[in-house]
Amino acid sequence: MRNRTHILLIYTGGTIGMTRHVKTKTLRPFDFGSLLENIPELKLLDCSIETFSFDPPIDSSNMDPDHWYKMGLLIASNYDKFDGFVILHGSDTMSYTASALSFMLENLTKPVILTGSQLPIGDLRTDAKENMITAIQLAALREEDRALIQEVGLYFEYKLYRGNRTTKINAEHFQAFASLNYPPLAESGVHLKVFEENLWKRNARFRFKAHNSLSDKVGLLKIFPGMRPDYVRHFLNNPALEGLVIETFGAGNAPTADWLLEILEAKIKEGLKIVNATQCSGGSVSMGQYETSQRLKDVGLLSAKDMTTESAITKMMYLLTKNLGDKEFKITYETSLCGEIS
């Protein structure tokens, strides 16, 4: 008989472990020990749990690539010791972290599941306990002698999603996340139902590899009706910029004004990588479907297809460090690396 499943629970911060300041009522992180004391149920789980806490824990609005390296390194250096990893994280940037980790942790053979909550664990109506306990149970699931889930997931309000497909859609509802372009990996009801057909099937020929460099020379530009040429030129003329994601309308459409296409074309010729991503949470970029996207294709924008903005940005951060030639960059960017594109 095999030993009990061993899970590493990583606390980075977020509402789940926050406490309300008595006078100001603002929420701020408190220590992990107190958080664990609030969940005696953890001892009832059929797996052993070790914990690691960020010191100090942070509100996820302060998350940045250095924190992602720290998580990646923690997972990589404990990879053989544990069967699965659960990351407690603020919901605000959880989809960014999940997306970044999905690229940084290549060929995972074990689950990395992020979760958090809308209410602190100490609140009477908290969603934290269910989210945390079920995330641990999902991370502990095994089939024969291997982990059932072998990818970065995000569990929130009864659903496990592929992390790099998620977006935070609600600042108030317990159902805070959506994955509009990919179905859930699992659902929690009376039973835990895993939809095995939706799980990422890794290529068994390749071994797990952790990457630890991301570029911060990326920008995000959301277009809107009435956008001024001088603002756009100023933004794009920043010499530090190496990769840009443009959030366009609908299926990848943008104004056909010459000034916009001229600056995009000039910057692409200078070597800037520019990606067309849709502002919509669901659906895909399809350049050439409308006249308003044909010229974007002609001047050389890459397509984010049906990637979320969170994936489009973090994939850009990841690929910019790989020294790929233009053609290889385009092919790799537009190909699904870990299930981020349909």
Binding residues for ligand ASP, rule: CB under 6 A, are: 13-15, 59-61, 90-92, 116
| Residue 117 Cβ vs ligand ASP, minimum distance, rounded to whole Å | 7
Which residue, 115 or 293, is less far from ligand ASP as judged by CB? 115
Is 15 a residue of the active site?
A: yes
User: Active-site residue among 15, 93, 166, 167?
Assistant: 15
Which residue, 84 or 90, is less far from ligand ASP as judged by CB? 90
* 117-143-151 Cα angle (round to 5): 45
Instruction: Output DSSP code: residue 4.
Output: P
Which residue, 86 or 341, is less far from ligand ASP as judged by CB? 86
Instruction: Output DSSP code: residue 198.
Output: G
| Residue 50 Cβ vs ligand ASP, minimum distance, rounded to whole Å | 23
Which residue, 34 or 335, is less far from ligand ASP as judged by CB? 34
**Alpha-carbon distance 170 to 161, whole Å?**
16
Q: Is the dihedral of CA 273, 279, 280, 286 positive or negative?
A: negative
Of 80, 79, 73, 82, the C-alpha closest to 54 is: 73
| Residue 60 Cβ vs ligand ASP, minimum distance, rounded to whole Å | 3
The beta strand positions in the chain, using DSSP E, are 5-11, 18-20, 27-29, 47-53, 84-88, 105-106, 112-115, 142-143, 146-147, 152-156, 159-162, 167-168, 177-178, 186-188, 192-194, 209-210, 218-222, 243-248, 273-278, 302-303
| Residue 169 Cβ vs ligand ASP, minimum distance, rounded to whole Å | 13
Residue nearest to ligand ASP (CB): 90
- Residues with a catalytic annotation lie at 15
